[in-house]
A and B are shown apart, each in its own frame.
Chain A
Amino acid sequence: MGQQALNGIFVGSIYALFAVGYTLVFGVLDILNLAHQAVFMLSAFLALTLVATAHLPLGAAMLVAILAAGVLGIVLERIAFRPLRGRADSNISGLISSLAMATVFEAIALQLFGPDISRFPLGTFPDRVVRIGTATASLLQIVIVGVAVALMAALSLLIARTRLGRQLRAVAESPRAARVLGIDVDRVIAYAFFLSSALGGAAGVLFGLAFNSISPDVGRSVELKGLAVIILGGMGSIPGAVVAGFALGLVETFTVARFGSSFRDVVSFAVLFLVLVARPRGLFGQASVREG
């Protein structure tokens, strides 16, 4: 049991990190960014390339990949979201333009890295096993959970304490009011995309390290899990996404332990569905969502 709890926390930390970025953009723009998973994937590939061919140390490679993912987020916003702003159906058209960008990103990865699974070179991370009570975890797993938690804490601080954080909250509340207050809304949205994509990229690198298999379609499996997490946590709620990410990871692993692996995804999506029908606000959301 202890071991399964560790497994759940481990995979949950990656879900949470992925979903925090996802939900950040939704909170600010009310738009689902379906290219988030592609940024996740490209960032993982970039880190892998830097380690495998440029022989950068892992920490440096990860930093570069995260920053690059953030920049990619700004590019994404410029191309796929800004031109649609103000359009009546920006909800749906944003969904589709981000999907188009995801397809393009996946094509780029396919061209550069091929369709097969790529792996970090053996020994990228020291292979050490740590005992925690009756359970074992690799050093890598512990570092991954630590990095994910640290990044999420940093984001929470940024939102709560800094000027940019206040501006983000203002734009999320009402872009029009924020503009009246003299906030440069376009710039704040660009920052939101930078932060969101950087976190998504970090999740990608950690995922790549954790399971050591990266392919151009690797983000797709995480994408739906991310959706479940942000619904569970309440759309736009960052603490909600964190809690829900860990919760989903734990629910999944305990489903496997109790009922067998065939039911893992059934349980996650059934929970998602029931939460939406019974309590659409999610665990932490406040906004009324029944009336668009």
Chain B
Amino acid sequence: MYRFHLPVLLPVAVAAAALGACDKTASPPAEGNAATVKIGAALSLTGPAASYGAQQKAGLTAAVAEVNASGALPVKLELIIDDDASTKEQGIAVFQKLINRDKVAVIIGPTLSNTASAADPLAQQAGVPVLAVSNTAAKGITDIGDHIWRDSLTEAQVIPGAFAKAQQKLGFKSAGVLYGNDDVFTKAGYDVMQKVLADLGVKLVGTQTFAKADRDYHAQLTALIDAKPDALVVSALADNAAAIVSQARQHGWTGPILGGNGFNSPAFIKNAGPAAEGILVGTSWDSTSQSPANQKFLAALAKQSVNPDQFSAQAYTAIYILAEAIKQSGGKAGRDDINAGFAKVKDLDTPLGKFSFTPARDASHQPSVQIIKDGKFQIVQ
């Protein structure tokens, strides 16, 4: 009746063969070769989070070079960076490749909480430890399982302090909020902001949303400004944030703007230009810290001519945490050794300050508040 034609199977067979061939040439050095430790990094090098990914790449490569040069470890670190394109789907694909093909010992990233909530379960299932360096959503990251760690503070840790300090300085009593509702990170930021504003007794006079792909925020901003708030509060990724701030200034908004973690990027200042002046942002990294670890970090990034921010600092710190974990497990660098080693990291000197994990595998250190002045982030004392 219906013959199955050869061509039905042919492309599949050809593709399988081709993939097979690829795999052979790419096959990793025999297992048990302890001389190198493969570190996978799933970073958003393209897409809406690309400006963070670029910072993270710079931080990781600088730290790996330093650790390898120092000879502090009996093993060499080998960094494999792959682009998750700021999407869940690509993030899952990258995780699968890193876990099964490259057989990495540990994964750093992914850049966005959105991607992490989808991809981290894969690593948890395969027993590969993950060290998140920028996931700030309070829920749904480290509670995925006992192999998921992070060195980034959550929004819930940063925003309360930042907003309290801002209110104390500026004395606003009402606020209008604009947030991205199709991203875990910006939505989680909004949830925290809403609660913190209520705790501070600030009245919410309006709430508006946008989607990552939006370019036009005039209608939302007009509605918010019409409600006459004392301050605007925005939870957005850097790309959206720059356009939002510019358009708010176009509408003649001169009042204070408080940003979430997404504003924490030199790219934001560059793109928003003068519109960025005076904006307040909480941060997990005190760029002015005089600690030797921070000074070393600043020098390393200056050598790459990268203007460092919280994202490169957290990524850089991750490699030192990893090195410490390997040290703690006696120089062994299997997946389980590293996972066990993370738990033993105590009061490590890093650019972020003295670093230890909480029992819930989260980070815990003092956040700071910064204001944008003359095109630069400055710590508010």
Contacts and interface: CB of A to CB of B under 8 A. Distances in A.
A217 B47 CA distance: 10
A260 B243 contact: no
B50 interface: yes
Given A256-B223, A257-B223, A261-B208, A116 B50 contact: yes
A103 interface: no
B271 A10 contact: no
Nearest to B267: A116
Given A138-B250, A253-B219, A257-B226, 11 more contacts: A3-B222, A3-B226, A4-B219, A116-B46, A211-B247, A256-B219, A257-B219, A261-B208, A261-B210, A262-B209, A264-B219
A117 B271 contact: yes
A220 interface: yes
A211 B219 contact: no
A260 B47 contact: no
B51 interface: yes
B216 A211 contact: yes
A11 B213 contact: no
User: Interface size for chain B: under 10, 10 to 19, 20 to 34, or 35 or more residues?
Assistant: 20 to 34
Interface residues of A, number: 31
A174 interface: no
B243 A115 contact: no
A221 B213 contact: yes
Contacts of A217: 213
Contacts of A252: 219
B207 A257 contact: no
Given A212-B243, A262-B181, A122 B207 contact: no
Contact of B239 (A8, A117, A129, A210): A117
B232 to A, nearest CB: 15
Contacts of B181: 262
A197 interface: no
A117 B50 CA distance: 10
Interface string A200-220: 000000010011110001101
Contacts of B223: 4, 256-257
A112 to B, nearest CB: 14
Interface of A: 3-4, 7-8, 10-11, 115-117, 119, 122, 129, 136, 138, 207, 210-213, 217-218, 220-221, 252-253, 256-257, 260-262, 264
A4 B215 CA distance: 17
A204 to B, nearest CB: 12
Chain A interface, DSSP helix/strand/loop, else mixed:
helix
Interface string B213-236: 111101110110010000000000
Nearest to A116: B50
B271 A115 contact: no
Contacts of B239: 116-117, 213
Closest 4 CB pairs of A and B: A256-B219, A211-B215, A253-B219, A115-B46
* Among A7, A10, A218: residue with most chain B CB under 10 A: A7
13 contacts: A4-B223, A11-B219, A117-B243, A119-B242, A129-B250, A210-B216, A211-B216, A212-B243, A212-B246, A220-B213, A257-B219, A257-B223, A261-B220
Contacts of A212: 243, 246
Interface in B234-258: 239, 242-243, 246-247, 250-252
Contact of B50 (A115, A211, A262): A115
